[in-house]
Structure 1
Amino acid sequence: MTFKPVRLMKGDCVGIIAPASPPNQQNLQRSLSFLKSLGLDVKFGRHVQNEYGYLAGSDAERLEDLHNMFKDEEVKAIICAGGGYGTARIADSIDYKIIEENPKIFWGYSDITFLHTAIFQKTGMATFHGPMLASDIGKEDADDISKASFAQLFQPVVFTYSEMLSPLETMIEGEAAGTIIGGNLSLLASTLGTPFEVDTKDKIVLIEDINEEPRAVDRMLNQLHMAGKLTDAAGFLIGDFNNCIPQREKSLTLEEVLDHYIKLAAKPALKGFLIGHCSPHYAIPLGVKASMHTGEKKVVIESGVL
């Protein structure tokens, strides 16, 4: 059963961790003024500045920061500095009882998708798929719409995504309702065969990705299809596939690949959502109830906080 963390209030403290790759430290520092403009105090994980190859510190160090932030009673929300690679390496070592006993807002996307999936399936806690500090908010050209997404952490609001936000295209007509899950396609595919294998049964599934050629997107969608994950779903939201273009002369297009697998799934599907590695990037809660109506080109998602 899904449960939600408590909303933020001005004066609350948020914890910043880097559970994947080393974040851009200049962007991370620049993002602090935004958090302070929201009336929030900030606490850094001990290892946020660590580097271990393509990881932001050893597995033990990144795990320690995650555990400590959930256990810290002063911290009311945990915001990831960035993505990259590495969260799957610590997923099996997380003490999910700590998260169950200390529920709080958890926010990020991209490689953080593995943690969204693991946390929801092990605890039932809703989390947030949204722009991160070093990767998005701290950039000099950070979009105001991306920043505005953080407002949903301060009060329970129903989020409606319609063509007022971006043009949407119906891929398969119909209506669907269910818990919304998903995120980065590469990470969702990587859960297969693990204790954290994504459960898409009767779910509305969001997918997005970056820098993957159409044949790589094809491979991942085919793997999910053969595992029954696409036909199990109630519906699909296709987010931003940034720079997912062919690098060779002979190739299917991304659109051809997506159309093929969505038609195989034969479930209601909309594409065109500015969710993912894009700017602006609209944040949404995961693990909560949602409904979609392709005729109205609209998705309604309940609040992710109490």
Structure 2
Amino acid sequence: MRPRRLNKGDTVGVIAPAGPTDKDELLDGISFLNSLGLHVKLGKHVLNQYGYLAGSDQNRLEDLHAMFADKDVSAIFCARGGYGTARIAPYINYHLIANNPKIFWGYSDITFLHTAIRQMTGLVTFHGPMVSSDFSKDDFDYLSKQMFDQLFYPATLLYTDKISPLKIISHGEACGEIVGGNLSVLINTLGTRFELDTSGKLLLLEDVGEEPYRIDAFLNQLKLAGKIDAAAGIILGDFNNVAPKKSSFTLDQVLHQYFQHLHKPVISGLKIGHCFPHFSIPLGVEAKLSTTDKTLLISPGIT
């Protein structure tokens, strides 16, 4: 179920379903959305803070529901990640979302909502940089901004090594629906009713601030849960700030240990995740991953 495209003059909502946001950074981020020709409506609780959360669970849930229910809002952008989306996932009205499909955009901790919404409703959502934590940064570059064009015009996306150096870890070619996102958040879905389904799918993985032994532990849990074997192919995005603090395997060594013997395509080095440029993609659409020409070809995410 693809959401409708945006048009200049549309109103979009901004909410903070995870961690608290900074007011000045939020205002800077809103100016970027305005530059796209969009009007912005803020969630009632977007600037709330409750410990390490952007308001109580009820506050954050209320803003999410309000934006999906609002007929004047054409898309919903998350202010930032952090932590907290798994706390509200069990209480979301998924019938409301299914009956009011619209663009939903974010990444990092938002991975839990991407997974829950897609698996409960079938709605295509978007993995991309966020209003407060990314739009206001000095290194929010041209390509990252250009990726928002896909919300206005249905377009097939093509990732090649002209964007960043790519490494083939395991050879092959596969087609499937793109799922996944932040590795540590995906681990938190296991054993819940929102457990990530990777069967026959292209699994995207990225993370930030985790040492190689932590990445190892996460990948081992995915492997033991059967998620790696079930996937048709693996897309390894950006693993930012993962340098070990003591004697360790390198990240590349860990990735090769888990993926080099798979009989399916595995490519690393894609600039998807906590990085700039940030190549934004729809989740839940068909794509083709090929090591023959080192490409990821992705179907449009809107209608």
Q: What's the TM-score once normalised by structure 1's chain length?
A: 0.97
Q: Map of 1:183-194 to 2, 5 A cutoff?
A: 183-194=181-192
Q: Are residue 281 (structure 1) and residue 285 (structure 2) matched? A: no
Question: Match of 1:138?
Answer: 136
* Residue deviations 1:245-288 (CA, integer Å, cap 9, x gap): 1111x211111111111135442111110000001111000000
Check conservation: 1:230, 1:265, Cα contact below 8 A: no
Q: 2:255 pairs with 247, 254, 258, which one?
A: 258
Q: 2:50 pairs with 41, 44, 52, which one?
A: 52
Q: Map of 1:32-47 to 2, 5 A cutoff?
A: 32-47=30-45
Question: Match of 2:168?
Answer: 170
Q: 1:11 pairs with 9, 12, 21, which one?
A: 9
Distance in 2 between residues matched to 1:98 and 1:181, nearest whole Å: 22
> 3-state DSSP class of the match of 1:279?
coil
- Return the letter of the residue paired with 1:247: K
> 3-state DSSP class of the match of 1:136?
coil
Question: Match of 1:99?
Answer: 97
Q: Are residue 234 (structure 1) and residue 232 (structure 2) matched? A: yes
130-139 vs 47-56, which deviates more? 130-139
Distance in 1 between residues matched to 2:111 and 2:262, nearest whole Å: 22
> 3-state DSSP class of the match of 1:134?
coil
* Residue deviations 1:89-111 (CA, integer Å, cap 9, x gap): 00000010000000000000000
Distance in 2 between residues matched to 1:50 and 1:291, nearest whole Å: 41
> 3-state DSSP class of the match of 1:137?
coil
Check conservation: 2:170, 2:262, Cα contact below 8 A: no
Question: Match of 1:299?
Answer: 296
> 3-state DSSP class of the match of 1:60?
helix
> 3-state DSSP class of the match of 1:133?
coil
* Residue deviations 1:43-82 (CA, integer Å, cap 9, x gap): 0000000000100000000000000000000000000000
Check conservation: 1:285, 1:303, Cα contact below 8 A: yes
Structure 1 residue runs of 5 or longer lacking an equivalent are: none
160-169 vs 94-103, which deviates more? 160-169
Q: 1:120 pairs with 118, 121, 139, which one?
A: 118
Distance in 2 between residues matched to 1:217 and 1:257, nearest whole Å: 8
* Residue deviations 1:211-244 (CA, integer Å, cap 9, x gap): 0011110111000000100000000110000011
Q: What's the TM-score once normalised by structure 2's chain length?
A: 0.98
Task: Calculate the aligned-residue CA RMSD, in Å.
Answer: 0.9
- Return the letter of the residue paired with 1:217: I
Check conservation: 1:137, 1:143, Cα contact below 8 A: no
Distance in 1 between residues matched to 2:122 and 2:229, nearest whole Å: 23
Distance in 2 between residues matched to 1:17 and 1:145, nearest whole Å: 24
Distance in 1 between residues matched to 2:139 and 2:218, nearest whole Å: 32
> 3-state DSSP class of the match of 2:17?
coil
Aligned-residue offset at 1:147: 1.2
Question: Match of 1:246?
Answer: 244
- Return the letter of the residue paired with 2:106: G
- Return the letter of the residue paired with 2:295: K
- Return the letter of the residue paired with 2:127: H
Distance in 1 between residues matched to 2:167 and 2:140, nearest whole Å: 26
Q: 1:21 pairs with 16, 19, 22, which one?
A: 19
Distance in 2 between residues matched to 1:141 and 1:281, nearest whole Å: 10
280-289 vs 261-270, which deviates more? 261-270
Structure 2 residue runs of 5 or longer lacking an equivalent are: none
Question: Match of 1:68?
Answer: 66
Aligned-residue offset at 1:24: 2.4
Distance in 2 between residues matched to 1:139 and 1:51, nearest whole Å: 22
- Return the letter of the residue paired with 2:181: G
> 3-state DSSP class of the match of 1:135?
coil
31-40 vs 217-226, which deviates more? 31-40
Aligned residues: 303
